[in-house]
Structure 1
């Protein structure tokens, strides 16, 4: 039985920078120059492995041809030597799951998943793991310039490839590239990425988000209204209606109002009936008033309900936004608001206690015409997270939540502040053992 070859130590791992290799000669087995390196190809593996180098795009006599990694005898920073004397001169065509390091990565922006921002790749590092070359790290530090010329640097500031998600725009590779790392970002982070992205980058981020309809709705709720409106303009009426049907009714109403007037009726007609009714109701209020800000979905119970029954109602309301579940609204038989009680108070009460004995029987409430300043002051004065909005007969129309008020009152320049830098995390050395695992490669400086 053949003994396994031991994995190289961290010190023995050979590294090549893509910038060094491009335009280097490709040499035949007999020592003759066949062409020059135009690009390197890696294949995106399943799971969390590092992408292996699968071949080279070689410039030969004015055309680009493919040379498989299986036919490479030696891979160095200044040349590639082949195991044969001839190459197939059929023109290169990209296959599904392939990434071209020069065309797709070098000089392009990727998603820095940890920081939830777009960064540019200025160089690519490849490691020889002993079992083949892999894409290991990216250098995202802008090269220094001296009098307009690139200044040579003695070191690199590289980070593990697995910290990034590429935005390549190659539709045939999309299914391979979609991973849980992007969908694991918070909706607000994805919205920030979309607002910073160019049109091509936006298209790929949206394609990835679109695979999770609920996440897509959450992202559009977080987008700047002008950006959301531009993105919706690129969608069909049916797609817009489906998206708005999954959004909070108040955010959907704002989005409908931002559509071209000629589209509004068409989109509304295509929306689910229940959501359409809510949206049309909200569109009748001033957007800067309590009526325009409120969420029409609430939880309520009667005065004869027990604490356990009220908690059960809240637990069953899985389709409502979590912030709408912070308070239980207690209604008389006529539907009139007679009290509110917090979820915390219900959880702390004896299960058999009557809600009528626990509730605040004179809750703070506002009419739909109240402006956001009045609502904000009431929330601050009474330490409230929600305020019910009622009509002249005390029937509950909806509820304004503190996040609605914050979103409406935070100045625009605060929203665009640069986030504090995150501490860098170093990973273990890259070897043949972890090249296909989640262990990161070494940071180099």
Structure 2
């Protein structure tokens, strides 16, 4: 049997396995792919029963929406066929609903025959004569006696049992492993993962944060709303929180420290690496809505004799984001902020047009545009718009480079404080129905039928 959708022969009961269904394409009736399955939403009916109410599917721009099970006309190997109308509102789990992949996989259950405990590897759903999909079987791996509930025994026996043969699946005794949850989101970009963390319960946020590498978590924290960002950082061990601040861009770290309670902020600054903490303290001296408050203290800086090839190698590093990589700052020694005198800047397009061995000091942009650290946000935005810049140097009264303001920093300060929590407008192209009917699609059969009318 192909477990990706686990459609069986016409003489057998229709069945699919949830974990194997993840990633399967959803097609409309004319055969166009409109989404991919990411999870199955179920509602427990009793201690030994649960009914599927829909699928969480991913459409354009990695937006996750709800597809009611009543709109699914077929589940077969490698494909799910729907009526072609999707509700474009972002998926939000309702009270009483459970995500099979996101919450039930890797839970510890107790076998009712007294043979011990097992870990859920996959969950099967069968279609009954009323065309409802119900949780029917569990694919499990036995745990060794005496092992921790949080440790999966790799060589344990696997078995498939009826749902009634186990207990504890819907209880709170064993939640999904945060490690498994983190692994399932490893391909998401930081902004999308931040959205998912935002929707989790506070306890789960901390568990998931604990499974992410420092650099990954730092990138995600930068994309979270202020209150959730503070909650995550204060929920971490202080040493881990300081490590996260160390790997964040200095300007983002300073913004975060500013949001923390004073006692917590002071403690974390003392735990940070001295050089990183000094950068943050320097930025905290400026008002948030000035060039000094928005700038990063780690722009790309080179000496005038540096060859073009070296500059290109610097901007090609994966750790350098696009706005910072757009500009190389040419300065006299020292080459760490605050530097010697800023001689000028060179844009990456100019570097691409020059021979690799040419000294970068020979191709400096003579129309140097820079601001002082006390320049207000309005001045910074006007200058960047006037000269079509994505990065602008910040200098002191002696012409020394202090840092650079990038366009993403400006947008963070121009947009409303709660912009990360506002739902994005629905897409206007593709196979998604944007009518009022689609937007009003409900999850239960009664609302769904009303919408179709």
Deviation of the 1:383 alpha carbon:
0.5
Deviation of the 1:241 alpha carbon:
0.8
Q: Distance in 1 between matches of 2:430 and 2:12?
A: 26
Deviation of the 1:313 alpha carbon:
4.0
- Superposed counterparts of 1:60-139, under 5 Å: 102=44, 114-116=62-64, 118-120=91-93, 135=124
Residue number in structure 2 paired with 1:408: 413
Residue number in structure 1 paired with 2:77: none
Q: Distance in 2 between matches of 1:108 and 1:205?
A: 26
Deviation of the 1:244 alpha carbon:
1.1
Given the alignment of the two structures, is residue 420 of structure 1 paired with residue 414 of structure 2, yes or no?
A: no
Q: Distance in 1 between matches of 2:268 and 2:362?
A: 46
Deviation of the 1:12 alpha carbon:
5.3
Residue 190 (structure 1) aligned to one of 186, 190, 193: 193
Distance 1:11 1:403, change over 3 A: farther
Q: Distance in 2 between matches of 1:287 and 1:176?
A: 37
Q: Distance in 1 between matches of 2:93 and 2:299?
A: 45
Deviations 1:147-196 (A, max 9, x none): xxxxxxx87799xxxxxxx9997657416733643121121122222333
Residue number in structure 2 paired with 1:394: 399
Deviations 1:277-324 (A, max 9, x none): 111111111111100100111222222233223223444x66544432
Deviations 1:180-226 (A, max 9, x none): 4312112112222233333345345434xx33221111011111122
Distance 1:157 1:171, change over 3 A: closer
Residue number in structure 2 paired with 1:373: 378
- Confirm or deny: 8 A CA contact 1:110 1:167 kept in the other structure: no
Residue number in structure 1 paired with 2:251: 250
Residue number in structure 2 paired with 1:220: 221
Residue number in structure 2 paired with 1:345: 350
Q: Distance in 2 between matches of 1:111 and 1:170?
A: 25
Distance 1:313 1:119, change over 3 A: closer
Distance 1:211 1:101, change over 3 A: farther
Deviation of the 1:412 alpha carbon:
4.5
Counterpart secondary structure, 1:420 = coil
Given the alignment of the two structures, is residue 199 of structure 1 paired with residue 202 of structure 2, yes or no?
A: yes
Q: Distance in 1 between matches of 2:14 and 2:353?
A: 60
- Confirm or deny: 8 A CA contact 2:329 2:345 kept in the other structure: yes
Residue number in structure 2 paired with 1:302: 303
Q: Distance in 2 between matches of 1:109 and 1:206?
A: 28
Counterpart secondary structure, 2:403 = strand
Residue number in structure 2 paired with 1:54: none
TM-score where L is the length of structure 2: 0.58
Residue number in structure 2 paired with 1:181: 184
Given the alignment of the two structures, is residue 49 of structure 1 paired with residue 20 of structure 2, yes or no?
A: yes
CA RMSD of aligned residues (A): 4.2
Residue number in structure 1 paired with 2:436: none
Q: Distance in 2 between matches of 1:339 and 1:361?
A: 7
Q: How many residues align?
A: 313
Q: Which structure has the greater CA radius of gyration? A: 1
Counterpart secondary structure, 2:397 = coil
Given the alignment of the two structures, is residue 259 of structure 1 paired with residue 275 of structure 2, yes or no?
A: no
Residue number in structure 1 paired with 2:331: 331
Q: Distance in 2 between matches of 1:206 and 1:344?
A: 38
Counterpart secondary structure, 1:341 = strand
Given the alignment of the two structures, is residue 14 of structure 1 paired with residue 13 of structure 2, yes or no?
A: yes
Counterpart secondary structure, 1:49 = helix
- Confirm or deny: 8 A CA contact 1:109 1:120 kept in the other structure: no
Q: Distance in 1 between matches of 2:249 and 2:126?
A: 41
Q: Distance in 1 between matches of 2:398 and 2:235?
A: 43
- Confirm or deny: 8 A CA contact 1:306 1:351 kept in the other structure: yes
Distance 1:312 1:361, change over 3 A: same
Q: Distance in 1 between matches of 2:368 and 2:170?
A: 51
Deviations 1:216-242 (A, max 9, x none): 110111111222112222223222211
- Confirm or deny: 8 A CA contact 1:111 1:119 kept in the other structure: no
Residue number in structure 1 paired with 2:235: 234
Gaps of 5+ in 1: 1-6, 18-41, 52-99, 126-132, 139-153, 159-165, 426-444
Counterpart secondary structure, 2:371 = coil
Counterpart secondary structure, 2:328 = strand
Distance 1:226 1:9, change over 3 A: closer
